[in-house]
A and B are shown apart, each in its own frame.
Chain A
Amino acid sequence: TAGNKIFHFGPCRISMSMTEIRSSFTAIKANIQARDPIRTLSILSHPHSLHKVKSSDRCCITHHLFNFYVDKVFKHCKTEDSYVNRKISSIANSFLSVKRKLEQCHKQNKCMCGQESAEKFKQILANYEGLNVIAAAIKSLGELDILLNWME
């Protein structure tokens, strides 16, 4: 049958429907990015781009990033705009659904973490902790298309 979008991270194969995450994000992208005045710092793409991550480390980085967004980011993104909050809830619940699947892979040792992914993720956390928590969360949410572009 027509497959769900199957993401291959080495031995870890995960079916994800990115279409809804993308459309929810596209609906609030301009609003969220306008709340982030800091042009000179990126959480995900500088100094090291996600595109430089070796394929063997992609699963681990993806697992770390989905945990990062679910555990740290979404809860600090509440806005005064009910429509934006509902879209954030939609993205957060979709991320939670994917995070669960990545956790399965991790438990089955199909999502191994190498040195590079540990370094990369440490850099992302350092970028994140370099800002106050609300600014960091809003900036991370505004960079979701960087994550989605890299994943797809």
Chain B
Amino acid sequence: GDALLPAPQNISILSTNMKHFLTWSPVIVQGETVRYSVEFQGEYEREYANESWIPICECSLITATVCNITEDISATVAYNLRVRADVGARRSEWGALKGFFNRITTSLTPPLMKVIADGYHLLVELEDMGPAFQFCVLYWKKGQESRMQQKVVKEVSSAVHLDTMEAGPDYCVKAQTYVEAINRNSSFSQTQCVRAQGGRSVWL
């Protein structure tokens, strides 16, 4: 029969490293394909635009139970999100995310990092995490933690030159990400140490 279609449940956000995904539990209707549509509402819409909602066209009438909302969560304010189901002409009520989502709560993971000694030169290779990310790289001569140096890295297309090394002592490096839009840092990566050896990389 034409029982009312239940609204999607267990609506939640998965947000890591400024990539935000809305997920929900599937609505089960035997023998039917259920489709879902997602809308968002920022603080501006709530307070200045009659609480209007904005559809995300990439997540209109989709069969998946996940939607990438990263492009639309592009301000550091509180957002509402909602999902509804459609089967043929039948349509459910909106299921809403409990509470707001603000991207400032995204979880930031330490960056993948590889430290290289190329002759007497200390270099670091960092994972490209997207335009929102910069990297704060700290490096020091082992045992001289008090004389730690810092370099902010924005371009990670190839090995970034940190400094020249004296032959002999170990040089250690660790890095954290920095997201300007939310003014937050990740925790630091594992420390990696290398030593200059006349042009050959030596891992310790």
Task: Tell me the A residues contacting B by CB distance below 8 Å.
Answer: 1-2, 4-5, 15, 17, 19-20, 24, 70-71, 74-75, 82-83, 85-86, 89-90, 92-97
Whether the pair A97, B76 counts as a contact (CB closer than 8 A) is: yes
Report which of B48, B55, B72, B183 forms a contact with A92, defined as CB distance below 8 A.
Answer: B48
A to B CB contacts below 8 Å, 8 in the list? A2-B136, A2-B152, A4-B183, A17-B76, A20-B74, A71-B48, A90-B74, A97-B76
Interface residue? B57 (CB, 8 A): yes
Instruction: Label chain A's interface by main secondary structure.
Output: helix
Bound form: Cα–Cα A81–B45 in Å: 17
The 3 closest A-B pairs by CB, nearest first: A93-B75, A93-B42, A90-B74
Whether B44 and A86, one on each chain, are in contact in the complex, defined by CB atoms closer than 8 angstroms, is no
Q: By the criterion CB–CB under 8 Å, are B178 and A1 in contact? A: yes
Q: How far is the CB of B60 from chain A (nearest CB, A)?
A: 9
The reply to whether B49 and A74 contact each other, CB–CB distance below 8 Å, is yes
How many angstroms between the C-alpha atoms of A85 and B77 in the bound complex?
Answer: 17
Additional A-B contact list (11), CB under 8 Å, known A86-B71, A89-B42, A89-B72: A1-B185, A2-B152, A15-B183, A17-B180, A20-B75, A20-B181, A86-B54, A90-B72, A94-B74, A95-B44, A96-B47
Q: Which residue, of A2, A24, A71, A86, has the highest number of chain B Cβ atoms within 10 A?
A: A2
Find the B residue at minimum CB distance from A24: B74
Contacts A70-B44, A71-B48 given; does A1 touch B136 at CB 8 Å: yes
Which B residues from 170 to 202 make CB contacts under 8 A with A? Answer: 178, 180-181, 183, 185
- Tell me how many residues of B have a C-beta within 8 Å of chain A: 27
CB A115 to nearest CB in B, in angstroms, measures 30
B contact residues around A86 at 8 Å (CB): 54, 56, 71-72
Give min CB distance, B56 to chain A, whole Å. Answer: 8
- Cβ A19 vs Cβ B49 within 8 A: no
The reply to whether A17 and B181 form a contact with Cβ atoms under 8 Å apart is: yes
Is the beta-carbon distance between B57 and A96 smaller than 8 angstroms?
Answer: no
What's the least CB distance linking A5 to chain B, in Å? 7
- Which interface residue of A15, A20, A85, A96 has the most chain B CB atoms within 10 A? A96
Q: How far is the CA of A90 from the CA of B70 in the complex (A)?
A: 11
Please report the C-alpha to C-alpha distance between residue A2 and residue B182 in the assembled complex, in whole angstroms: 12
Give the distance in Å from the alpha carbon of A1 to the alpha carbon of B182 in the complex: 13
- Kindly list chain A residues whose C-beta atoms are within 8 Å of the C-beta of B183: 4, 15
Complex partner residue of A19 from B72, B75, B180, CB under 8 angstroms: B180
Complex Cα distance, B55 from A21, in Å, reads 20
Q: Are A90 and B134 in contact (CB under 8 A)?
A: no
Please, which residues of chain B bring their CB within 8 A of the CB of A93? 42-44, 74-75, 77
The answer to whether B49 touches A94, judged by C-beta atoms less than 8 angstroms apart, is no
Q: Which residues of B contact A15 (CB under 8 A)?
A: 183
